[in-house]
Amino acid sequence: QRLTRNRDKESSPHILPDGSILYTTGGDGYSSIALMDADGGNRRMVVDSPGYDWGARLSADGTALVFTSDMSGRDSIYRLDWEMPPGNSEPRLLVEGMWGYLAAR
């Protein structure tokens, strides 16, 4: 079953414990990290910096999202706190910032 149908290039899907899917989406000059329900619905941006963001993975315990981005001018790995509430409710980013993430040191 095809889950996405738009002009953007979409890749690197990662299925989360609740069945939702993290993936990279983008076009010429940018890419972002998005999340959608298992059926392809309810698409929303998770990381959207002014550059390329890709390769998102959720930690085994579900508390951190790691991804690669060139937002600093070179490819670096970033981490943001993440919470998957019980049941099938919306995951929450637990940090605030210009784009909803913090750089790891």
**What is the number of structural domains in the chain?**
1
pLDDT surpassing 50 at residue 96: no
Domain contains 25: yes
Name residue, tokens 């019980």: 86
Domain contains 46: yes
Mean pLDDT throughout 44-53?
87
Predicted confidence at residue 84, as pLDDT, reads 59
Read off the tokens for 21: 């899917």
Domain contains 16: yes
Q: How far apart are CA 38 and CA 35, in angstroms?
A: 9
Residue 87 belongs to domain spanning: 9-93
Q: How far apart are CA 36 and CA 31, in angstroms?
A: 16
Domain contains 1: no
Domain contains 2: no
Mean pLDDT throughout 25-42?
89
Domain contains 4: no
Of the two residues 7 and 33, the one the predictor is more confident about is 33
Predicted confidence at residue 36, as pLDDT, reads 92
Predicted confidence at residue 85, as pLDDT, reads 52
Q: Sign of torsion, CA 38 43 48 52? A: positive
Domain contains 102: no
Q: What predicted TM-score, i.e. pTM, was given to this entire model?
A: 0.74
Residues 6+ apart with CB under 8 A from 90: none
Answer left, alpha or beta for residue 99, where phi above 0 means left and psi between -120 and 50 means alpha: alpha
Predicted confidence at residue 74, as pLDDT, reads 86
Domain contains 55: yes
